[in-house]
Amino acid sequence: MNRRLFTLAAAALAALSWSTEVLAADELRVMVHSSFSLPQPLLAQFEKQNGIRLAIIKGGDAGEMLNKLILTQAQPIADVVFGIDNTLVGKALAAGVLEPMLPQTQDAPDANLGAALAAVDYGFVTLNYDKAAVAKSGMDLPKTLQDLTLPAYKNWLVTPNPATSSTGYSFMLATISAMGEEPAFAWWAKMRGNGLKVVKGWSEAYYTDFARNKGAYPLVVSYATSPAAEVFYSKEKTHESPTASLNLKGGVFRQVEGVGLVKGGGQRATALKFVDFMRSTPVQEALQTAMWMYPMRAKTTRAEVMRYAAEPTEFEAPTAQVVAGKGAQWVARWTKVVLK
């Protein structure tokens, strides 16, 4: 008797699970990175307006996501991709995973992203510091990247590994772009000697090593919008962010993200509508506090909390060709210089 009950329960559970997973015949597969987030009502509205189901597929970190697209070129697993940024677009184009879009869908192709991607948002990878930790140390903030190599700032910086994190990758590119290849790697070597900590990704750096979260490092490679997020997600209502951006020359990277069509994917018409959707005003307004990026669309109302995230005025933005050509080489060299 128990056995029968058991098998019945199992069958019911299985049936229940499967029934809710019935894939609609019409669905638009959107490949995104793990930081993608938009309010559900907005997405639902898109689905209703276009009579199609949105199947969002999260592919991990942006670099990982692109690699998954490359690996599955022969049988694409998505129709649209969001999250390829200016550091990855060269690799994407060279691998041929993006389909060039018709000019009408773009008002002005972004110089950084080329014709195959429509820019959706941008952000800045920069250093963040914990105000309390810095105050406690009694020292002034470093004014240049070279300052960080001084003994006074030993064991101050934690960075994600460029090999495994697009955040770390962007930061590395910024240093190389500002200083030049040889001086940059010399700087990294000095940083290694000055107690630089390398971790896998942004979450690890921010939550386990950053001084704000009881770690030992007052400086972390993060985003210009992170201080605003700290206020947004703070426990008590506060008017000052516990962290702030430290924009050093050579330490700020401008990241532009875009959406594009996957070569070999389906649902072309709806896909183009999705591209427009991502650049529409409601989405542009929402993505500020959903994904903590700045909207690309001019004259979008800025969210209230974004005043804690002032945009850096100086930043590095190497061309896609340069990045595509030497990116992998630089990462390998970085690993050798800093880790091995």
Partner 1 sequence: MGSTLDQSGAQVTWPSMSSVVLPGWLRRSVWLGLLPATALLVLLIAPLGRLVLAGWAGDVNLPGAATATAWSFWSPWQDDYLRWRVLWSLAQAGITCVLAFALGLPLAWVLARFEFAGRTLVLRLLMLPFVVPTLVAALGVLALWGPHGVLSGWLGINLQNTPWLLLYGNLFFNLCLVVRAGVDALSQVNARQVAAARSLGATPWRAFWRVEWPSIAPWLMSSLCLVFLYCFAGFGLALVLGGQRYATVDVEIYTLVAHELQLGQASVLALWMLLLTGAVALVYAVLEKRLAAPSRVEPVERHTPQGVTQWLAVLAAFGVLFVICGLPILAIVWRALDAGWGTWATVLNTESRAALWNTLRFSALALLLATLLGVLHALAAQRSVLWRAAAFLPFVVSPVTVAFGLLLLYPGWTASLPLLLAAYAVLAYPFVAKSLAAGLDSLPPHLLHAARTLGASLQRTFWRVTLPLLRPALRRGMAFAAATALGEFAVTLFLSRPEWATLTTLIYQRLGHPGASSLDEAMVLACVLMLLALLAFLLIEWPVADRHGSRRSPTSAVSVGALRHA
Type of residue numbered 74: A
- Copy the structure tokens of residue 57: 């597929």
Q: Is 317 in the site for partner 1 (CB under 8 A)?
A: no
Which of 160/295 has CB closer to partner 1? Answer: 160
Burial class (CB in 10 A: 0-12, 13-18, 19+), 120: buried
Instruction: Evaluate whether 97 touches 69 at the Cβ level (below 8 Å).
Output: yes
**Residue-level length of the chain:** 340
Nearest Cα to 295, choosing from 310, 307, 283, 304? 283
Q: Which of 119, 125, 191, 324 lies at the binding interface for partner 1 (CB under 8 A)?
A: 324
Q: Is 247 in the site for partner 1 (CB under 8 A)?
A: no
Main-chain dihedrals φ then ψ at residue 128, nearest 5 degrees? -115, 145
Q: Which of 86, 164, 167, 177 lies at the binding interface for partner 1 (CB under 8 A)?
A: 164
Which DSSP string corresponds to 158-207?
A: EEE-TTT-HHHHHHHHHHHHHH-HHHHHHHHHHHHHTT-EEESSHHHIII
CB 175, min distance to partner 1, A: 18
For the segment 77-96, give every residue that binds partner 1 (CB under 8 A): 77, 90-91, 94-96
Q: Is 14 in the site for partner 1 (CB under 8 A)?
A: yes
Q: Which of 206, 253, 274, 277 lies at the binding interface for partner 1 (CB under 8 A)?
A: 206
User: Which helix (H) or strand (E) segment is 126 a member of?
Assistant: strand 117-130
Give how many residues touch partner 1 by CB under 8 A.
74
Number of helices and strands in the chain (H, E): 12, 11
Q: Is 292 in the site for partner 1 (CB under 8 A)?
A: yes
CB 245, min distance to partner 1, A: 12
Q: Which of 121, 204, 257, 316 lies at the binding interface for partner 1 (CB under 8 A)?
A: 204
Which of 131/207 has CB closer to partner 1? Answer: 207
Rounded CA-CA distance 333/340 in Å is 10
Q: Is 41 in the site for partner 1 (CB under 8 A)?
A: no
Q: Is 332 in the site for partner 1 (CB under 8 A)?
A: yes
- Copy the structure tokens of residue 13: 């559970």
Which of 102/328 has CB closer to partner 1? Answer: 328
Which of 86/161 has CB closer to partner 1? Answer: 161
Q: Is 76 in the site for partner 1 (CB under 8 A)?
A: yes
Q: Is 194 in the site for partner 1 (CB under 8 A)?
A: no
CB 204, min distance to partner 1, A: 5
